[in-house]
Structure 1
């Protein structure tokens, strides 16, 4: 028995090479080369497949989510190379091999699903492709021990000048205790509402974020574990842990790590994006922000506080619609971070970069929130520069009413447009702020039932319903909605 371990894309690519070698039907150099990849000095023998249901990417065929098509591509390219002396008949044989390879890929994918289903006692606990499929399980953040971040250059670039003195005076300390108490109570009520709607609710660990920490490159205190949407992106059965861009959020993943370990052990795929060192080179230390007006001019020219020194991104700068994922370059997500995500998810998913006339881009879901197949809420104050692309694809854009949140309500790290930062329970139900009656009426006109819940005090910490949650499992599958 021959056991193959490595060929470009790992054992999957090797097994494909073995398949081609077994099926070789000519003596051209390309087929002799393919044969030599697996045969060596011995005769070819049948491969033995190893049913490891939790095999890592690059592992075994029996992982039902293996990117077989992607890892086969080097083999297919080799099979299609026609030497100068090749005859037309031999070229046609190469085409036959490619056709057989395609059928082999599909057959192995089907076989792997059956093999894995026998090994597992339960379906994968992680499954979410869109923002609107029926919600079954969700992580809800925690306001407990939330700590004001130190007033660093990246915090200054992302906050309003009205609160700069607040950050200067309170950096490293707790947010106002009474305010936090109300926020904790409101999020507890949110959890009860979700459970009442049939959704399983999970929570991160409670952590003391006031403890100072240091790396070889910087010192800081923490922030919170309030916004799981910022740090976790679920794509299919994979949880992607974002690297983040604020130094105060460097260790935020620790609050979610027990949950991620549990999901991994139950069969989910779990990827941690490259963690930036967050050295000074990642930030434009001389970012000349003296007012919001200054920042508007800089962003309009494409200047951000984060550089391209190393990839960084927050998960909340990505929003999903099946096969297609939309991302924005923001103060916390650089082009390198978007490119990392594009390469990581290709070819099964397409990552599109979009931009907005936003004076302070940070997280896409209060600017452009997809609420159904081909249906998106578009912030009128931050119009999408690529909106024609969506119209050509047949999408419908909804212009929301102005938010009703009082101007004097403290919003230390967000804007009043959290009114559209809603969470879809399915295509027909949505969580909406209780006091945003005009937004509720907008949804009613769309045939969507609003479920009003008040999280005004929780809004102050930087997020609405979408930010405060991360959907782990939705009842739906892979599909294309943007063609």
Structure 2
């Protein structure tokens, strides 16, 4: 089928599901610190006095060329891959054609550019680095160095859609030196602040100043309209590019500081006129035309529904990661089976809920929406906003 995806809810026909095969480590360096910095200590539950992950000096990790490499336990990766296969199977059972990216080869451990090196991350959270805008694939400017070449592992899928007539574009690739990053949000945010300071960036011969760094998961797609979250000058530059590139085809609506980056664990559109949101405060920050939609406020997640981790495990997301659901139609939603509170809430609003297992969502920074890239839906360029 031809590439066609304008929104988050129309009947899903084809999707790409991510892979975590050979996931071996996280690399703690400037881009990683900035990307995950907005999780406060309270989100990580009792017993964790640190911010969203333990302090560098508190762990035994070997330094790499780009930062401090923190191993990921093999048992977590094995269970994650089991759950990803379960997600793929659930989608197949609902009549959705599932594609998978190329797996990272076990010998591919490092990505290098002239300016830096970092450990490689598998193509797991596919939503982050690719925006599907109708009939166009847009590879966005990566925000984490480890993920710089991640979309290369989607090339076979993209190539096939291109052969069928899809447009295919790539945002400018950033140099990603330390000077590329706008540190103001991390230094001024009232969300809690880091336990470790974000140090002054180090100069590089490749510095060009702050660059566009923008993830597709900062966007909410609503037919002809795209809501884009901006928290830094890096994001603003990315949205500038997106507006110019899509001019005449899509309307971009900017929201400021809804989160530090991604918004798909803050707000998702489940069908025309209905949003799933973390809180009323999120609704109040949305464009005026969206505030009139019905807002389903997600119930607080039960802390006991999450695995207990060891002190050296990096907890990267808040418990609200399970808001990251995937709609396969305007009335059918895939929800983590460990979040029965949300399942009951959605059922009361007339949705059919498909429970799917996902155990280690807090360790790998993504839910079902993050793990998938919907490439073919039945919807078109409709006007849902006044």
Is the TM value for this pair above 0.5?
yes
**Paired residue for 1:452, among 329, 336, 355?**
355
Q: What RMSD over aligned residues (CA atoms) do the two structures have, in Å?
A: 2.8
SS in 2 for 1:195: helix
**1:150 counterpart SS class:** strand
Q: Does 1:274 align with 2:274?
A: no
2:230 is equivalent to residue 329 of structure 1:
yes
CA distance in 2, matches of 1:374, 1:290: 31
Q: How much has 1:387 moved relative to structure 2? A: 3.9
Alignment correspondent of 2:53:
163
> What residue is the counterpart of 2:204 in the other structure?
none
Normalized against structure 1, the TM-score is what? 0.67
**What is the match of residue 345 of structure 2?**
442
Instruction: Please tell me whether residue 390 in structure 1 is matched to residue 293 in structure 2.
Output: no
Residues 321 and 361 in structure 2, CA contact (< 8 A), matched pair in contact too: no
- The residue aligned with 2:317 is 414
**Deviation for aligned residue 1:245:** 1.3
* Contact 1:314–1:333 under 8 Å retained in 2: no
Any unmatched runs of 5+ in structure 2? 40-50, 63-67, 198-207
Aligned residue pairs total: 348
The structure-2 alpha-carbon separation of the partners of 1:395 and 1:404, relative to structure 1 and needing over 3 Å to count, comes to: same
Q: Is the 8 A contact 1:356 1:382 kept in 2?
A: no
Show the counterpart of 1:317. 218
Name the CA shift for 1:168/1:152 in 2 (closer, same or farther; >3 Å): farther
What TM-score comes out, normalization by structure 2 length?
A: 0.82
Determine if the alignment matches structure 1 residue 261 to structure 2 residue 159: yes
- How far, CA to CA, are the matches of 2:258 and 2:93 in structure 1? 39
Quick one: distance in 2 between partners of 1:262 and 1:332? 35
Residue in 1 aligned with 2:202? none
| Distance in structure 2 (CA, Å) of the matches to 1:220 and 1:314 | 19
Counterpart among 259, 265, 273 of residue 366 in structure 1: 265
Note the 1:185-224 alignment, pairs <5 A.
Answer: 185-208=82-105, 211-224=109-122
**Could you tell me which residue of structure 1 aligns to residue 383 of structure 2?**
480
1:342–1:388: structure 2 CA closer, same or farther, 3 Å change rule?
A: closer
Task: Specify which of 310, 315, 333 is matched with residue 430 of structure 1.
Answer: 333
Greater share of helix: 1
Higher relative contact order (CA 8 A, sep 6+): 2
Equivalent residue, structure 2, for 1:341: 242
CA distance in 2: counterparts of 1:290 and 1:349, whole angstroms: 31
Tell me, yes or no, if the aligned pair for 1:239 and 1:268 is still in contact at 8 Å. yes
The change in CA–CA distance for 1:389 and 1:289 in structure 2 (over 3 A counts) is closer
1: distance between equivalents of 2:60 and 2:190?
16
2:181 aligned to which of 266, 283, 287: 283
- Cα deviation code 1:236-277 (max 9, x no counterpart): 111111121111111111211121112111211111111111
The match for 2:80 among 160, 172, 183 is: 183
2:9 is the alignment partner of 1:132:
yes
Moved more, 327-336 or 281-290: 281-290
Change (3 A) 1:132 1:375: same
Aligned ranges 1:454-469 → 2 under 5 Å: 454-469=357-372
Contact 1:316 1:365 in 2 (8 A): yes
1:147 is displaced (CA, Å) by: 3.4
